[in-house]
Amino acid sequence: MRSWSFKRSTCRLCDSAQVECVVPLRAIPIVTPNVDAKSAAQQHAGVRDLSVPLALYRCSECHHVQLLDVVDPEVQYNNFRYTTTISLGLPEHFRKFAGEVVAAAGAPAGAFVVEVGSNDGTLLRAFKERGMGVLGIDPARKIAQQATDSGVKTLPTFFTGNLASDIRDEHGAADIMIANNTFANLDDLTDFAAAVRTLLAPSGVFVFETSYGADVVRKVLIDTIYHEHLSYFMAAPLDRYFARHKLQLIDIQHIWTKGGSIRGTVQLAGGPRKRAASVDAMIAEERRLGFQSKAPFEKMDTAVAALQNDVSALVAIRRAAGKRIAAYGASVGTVTLIQQFGIGTALDFVADDNPLCDYLAGSDYRVPVLRSDAIYERKPDTIIVLAWRYADPIMGKHQRYLAQGGEFVIPLPAITVRSSVQGAS
């Protein structure tokens, strides 16, 4: 029987074998709301019920933070169904992003822009509106076809060194390359660097946005940890990685998305732009925070255990009192939280404004996913807001639920209970 995951033994940035587990987490299922479970099961027999270990590892050589358990990308991405447009605030962020990148790169109308992991073409459309040639690359076949049909040509495949050569032969070098919330999803970063080097024009820039590893650890953002996200990048390991592959990290900025992300700008080694002070400043800050040691990860591990205990205790008290419990938000991050909190068997259902799946399943639970109006039909006593970053708009939308005596529990960054009686506690 084919194995749908494997465990690598070396750091994916520097190839060192000196990697150690620093934050062990509970295993999560391969098939999450981002994956079309029915199509995946038809293509890959037995994959629906499999779980894969989830743990953060740290490289003692370059200090890169990563997962070593890697799920077959065909399972994850060929049947991928999450689209940019359903993520609150992200389309607006991407439109602003396009303008900032064009200004910083000094790219003229007619420049060639390539995006790796372009999804439904939301970001590339913003560049196209500025008169630029665009090309998307995304292995989610249905989404890629929809993007192409909408006017953003998208290749339904994975980005590799060979593909980069083919694109350059057909379209010429890329003035701007982009990988937003995709760079961290790649296992073979040696081939990726070679592909960027092949396709990028001599004066071009590669710009990426990705979750910031330092924020993930310090803020205990465990809902950003799942098998799509293989790397949790920081400036110091990235600077070393790019230099190793004849590329140069010339700017890095801390931004708000995903609970804390970074936007990096890269050029070919010896390129025309000067390195900004931001790179060395972020490296120095990471050193000040102790990321060259295991101390921040020990704190995170302790915090995860405390969260697990606190949420489990709250749920146990509600259950003992005969309360009905639901959750809000059915995303891949939700799967991580349900597993880490151990609350799958306690949930009556999961509500979501835009459900991507019919149910969430683990080794001991199967919870239906329903549209959010089910709250008023099923009348749960407690709703755990697993989509905690959007807790305020969710609660604002459901004041009627609070008025009827319900309560919202926001588990992160620390447990908060909201009800019409208590307010915040």
Q: pLDDT tier at 424 (50, 70, 90 boundaries)?
A: very low
Alpha helices (runs of H) in 321-383, residue ranges in sequence order: 332-341, 374-378
Q: Sorting pLDDT into bands at 50, 70 and 90, what band is 117?
A: very high
Percentage of the residues of the chain whose pLDDT score is greater than 90 = 77
E strand residue ranges, 72-156: 112-116, 133-137, 154-155
Q: Per-residue confidence at 291, pLDDT binned at 50, 70, 90?
A: very high
- Compute the half-sphere exposure of residue 300: CA atoms within 13 Å on the CB side of its CA: 26
Q: How confident is the model at residue 49, as a pLDDT?
A: 64
**Domain 296-424: which CATH number of 3.40.50.720, 3.40.109.10, 3.30.70.2860, 3.40.50.920:** 3.40.50.720
Q: What is the CA radius of gyration of the chain?
A: 22
What does DSSP say about strands 382-385 and 325-328: parallel, antiparallel, or unpaired? Answer: parallel
DSSP codes, 231-252: EE--HHHHHHHHHHTTEEEEEE
- The pLDDT confidence band at residue 341, using thresholds 50, 70 and 90, is very high
Asked if the model's pLDDT at residue 22 lies above 80, the reply is yes
**Average pLDDT, stretch 140-164?**
95
Question: Is 31 in contact with 362 (CB distance < 8 Å)?
Answer: no
Residue 338 has pLDDT above 90, yes or no: yes
**What's the whole-number mean pLDDT along residues 24-41?**
77
Tens-digit pLDDT profile for residues 154-208? 999 999 999 999 999 999 999 999 999 899 999 999 999 999 999 999 999 999 9
Who has greater pLDDT, 47 or 137? Answer: 137
The full set of domain ranges for the chain reads 84-292, 296-424
Using alpha carbons only, what angle is made at residue 137 by residues 134 and 140, rounded to the nearest 5 degrees?
A: 135
pLDDT tens for 306-328 read 999 999 999 999 999 999 999 99
What is the average pLDDT score of the chain?
Answer: 92
Q: Considering the domain 84-292, what is its CATH architecture?
A: 3-Layer(aba) Sandwich (3.40)
- Same topology between domain 84-292 and domain 296-424: yes
pLDDT value at 1 more than 60: no
CA pair distance 345, 335, nearest whole angstrom? 13
Average pLDDT (219-230) is: 95
3-state secondary structure of 29: strand
77 vs 228: CA distance, rounded Å: 9
